[in-house]
Amino acid sequence: MKAEIHPELVESVITCVCGATHKTLAIRPEMRVDICGKCHPFYTGQQARFIDAAGRVESFRRRYKLTEENK
C-alpha cells in the first residue's frame, strides 16, 4: 500500500434498525443503517415491508396522496 494516503481502519460495528449487527473494518467505530442483508426483502425472500425508520414511506405517500388501496 502507498504510504500516508490510506485512512486508518478500525473495527466497526454496523447496527441495523432491524436489530442485526455486523462487524467489519471501517474508518469509524460504529454506523447505523436502515436496511441490511438480514432484513432486506431481496435476501429474506419475503415481500415483507421493511422497517421504515424515519417515516419516509409515509411522507412520500402523503405527498403524492397515495393510499393503501391506490398504490
* Per-position x/- string for 27-56, each x denoting binding to Zn ion as judged by CB under 5 A, each - no binding: ---------x-xx-----------------
53-65 exposure pattern, b = at least 16 Cβ within 10 A, e = fewer: eeeeeeeeeeeee
Least Cβ distance, residue 30 to Zn ion (angstroms): 15
Among 14, 18, 26, 31, binds Zn ion (CB under 5 A): 18
- Which burial class, exposed, middle or buried, applies to 26 when counting CB atoms under 10 A from its CB (0-12, 13-18, 19+)? middle
Least Cβ distance, residue 17 to Zn ion (angstroms): 7
Closer to Zn ion by Cβ: residue 7 or 55? 55
> CB of 66 within 8 A of CB of 59?
no
Among 9, 10, 13, 20, binds Zn ion (CB under 5 A): 20
